[in-house]
């Protein structure tokens, strides 16, 4: 058996450097297209042929590149020369807060082991590639603050392990939610500041583990679903502000036992401020400004012992706030 073990050891000695060399070549090829590459000046064969020693690069114990973290490093370029195929072991790619532009290639789907993808706060545009939906190990997806257009690809809902999902501050629109799958692991969903036009996306009501939901600053219309509180019992943060929701605040909101922030400002809500809001005992922030609620000021505010901020400005209420609850603008 000894010759077999010797051969096995020699195999590992050969294959790992070859893999590392391939990864190094792929990273150097991408570096050539980057402007302001001072932050990755260590990416050089003259410095080291081992990419594990380059800044922003983390390797596994066996020498494979598993993480690239270049957050806020002023790199300016595109993904045109990024060879995703040569980095199959990558689990984390964080290029957020930079000056990357152009589109995301569909070949990003070659990163089959990726768990964390953050390309937020860049200047990327075009459509979000549906192929991202095939990266089945993904836990965290952040494409916020770019210039993506078109609909949200329904294929992204195939990411059944994803927990954090942020597509906010883009130009996404015309999404057909009927094709979406239930994302049962999702806890954080942010789609704010897009151009979504529809009634409340009812697929969201099936994301039962959500603790954070922000769909503010869109063009959503109609009533707020009565079943919102029952379907999403773990919500701690809810932001529906700056839309066109109408009718009354649902009485079912009394079931929000974990809710800490409720933001419903700048909609077309009517029917007064329901007293049931006094049942949300953990509430720290309440914003109902710029609606058409009208009616008297409810007496329940004194029950909300944890309330720190309230904004009812422009609601047409016939009252004057007491000193302990001064209305303030955010």
Q: What is the per-residue DSSP string for 256-309?
A: -SS--EEE--SSEE-S---GGGGG-TT--EEE--SS---SPPPSGGGG-TT--E
Tokens of 320: 């004057």
Domain count, the chain: 1
| Helix (H/G/I), strand (E/B), else coil: 102 | strand
* Structural domain harbouring 179: 68-325
47-50: list long-range contacts, CB under 8 Å, 24+ apart. Answer: 49/21, 49/24, 50/20, 50/24
**Residue 145's CATH number:** 3.80.10.10
Does any domain span residue 49? no
Q: Report how far Cα 189 is from the mean position of its chain's Cα atoms.
A: 6
Does any domain span residue 99? yes
Does any domain span residue 4? no
Does any domain span residue 14? no
> What value, to the nearest 5°, has the Cα angle with vertex 33 and ends 117 and 29?
80
Does any domain span residue 212? yes
Does any domain span residue 174? yes
What CA–CA distance (Å, rounded) separates 215 from 225?
A: 14
Contact between 264 and 242 under an 8 Å Cβ cutoff? The reply is no
Does any domain span residue 16? no
Does any domain span residue 2? no
Q: Pairing relation of β-strands 164-166 and 140-142?
A: parallel
Per-residue pLDDT of the chain (330 residues; tens, 9 = 90+): 444 444 444 444 434 445 668 899 999 999 999 988 789 999 998 877 889 999 999 999 999 999 999 999 999 999 999 999 999 999 999 999 999 999 999 999 999 999 999 999 999 999 999 999 999 999 999 999 999 999 999 999 999 999 999 999 999 998 899 999 999 999 999 999 999 999 999 999 999 999 999 999 999 999 999 999 999 999 999 999 999 999 999 999 999 999 999 999 999 999 999 989 999 999 999 999 999 998 888 888 888 999 999 999 987 665 544 434 444 433
What CA–CA distance (Å, rounded) separates 112 from 222?
A: 40
């Amino acid at each position: 058996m000894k010759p077999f073990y010797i051969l096995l050891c020699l195999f590992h000695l050969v294959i790992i450097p070859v893999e590392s060399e391939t990864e190094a070549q792929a990273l150097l090829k991408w570096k050539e297209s980057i402007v302001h590459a001072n932050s990755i000046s260590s990416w050089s064969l003259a410095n080291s042929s081992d990419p594990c020693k380059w800044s922003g690069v983390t390797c596994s114990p066996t020498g494979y590149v598993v993480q690239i973290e270049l957050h806020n490093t002023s790199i300016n370029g595109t993904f045109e020369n990024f060879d995703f195929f040569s980095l199959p072991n990558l689990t984390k790619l964080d290029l957020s807060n930079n000056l990357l532009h152009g589109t995301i290639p569909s070949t990003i789907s070659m990163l089959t082991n990726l768990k964390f993808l953050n390309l937020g706060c860049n200047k990327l545009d075009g459509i979000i590639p549906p192929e991202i939906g095939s990266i089945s190990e993904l836990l965290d997806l952040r494409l916020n603050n770019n210039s993506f257009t078109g609909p949200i690809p329904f294929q992204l809902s195939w990411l059944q392990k994803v927990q954090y999902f942020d597509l906010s501050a883009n130009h996404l629109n015309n999404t057909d939610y009927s094709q979406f799958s239930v994302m049962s692991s999702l806890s954080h969903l942010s789609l704010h500041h897009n151009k979504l036009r529809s009634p409340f996306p009812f697929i969201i009501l099936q994301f039962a583990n959500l603790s954070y939901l922000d769909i503010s600053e869109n063009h959503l219309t109609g009533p707020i679903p009565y079943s919102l509180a029952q379907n999403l019992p773990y919500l701690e943060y809810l932001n529906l502000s700056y839309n066109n929701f109408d009718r009354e605040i649902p009485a079912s909101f009394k079931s929000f036992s974990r809710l800490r922030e409720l933001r419903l400002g700048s909609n077309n809500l009517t029917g007064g401020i329901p007293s049931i809001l006094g049942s949300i005992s953990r509430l720290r922030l309440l914003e109902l400004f710029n609606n058409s609620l009208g009616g008297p000021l409810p007496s329940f505010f004194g029950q909300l012992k944890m309330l720190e901020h309230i904004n009812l400005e422009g609601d047409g209420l016939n009252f004057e706030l007491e000193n302990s609850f001064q209305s303030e603008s955010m």
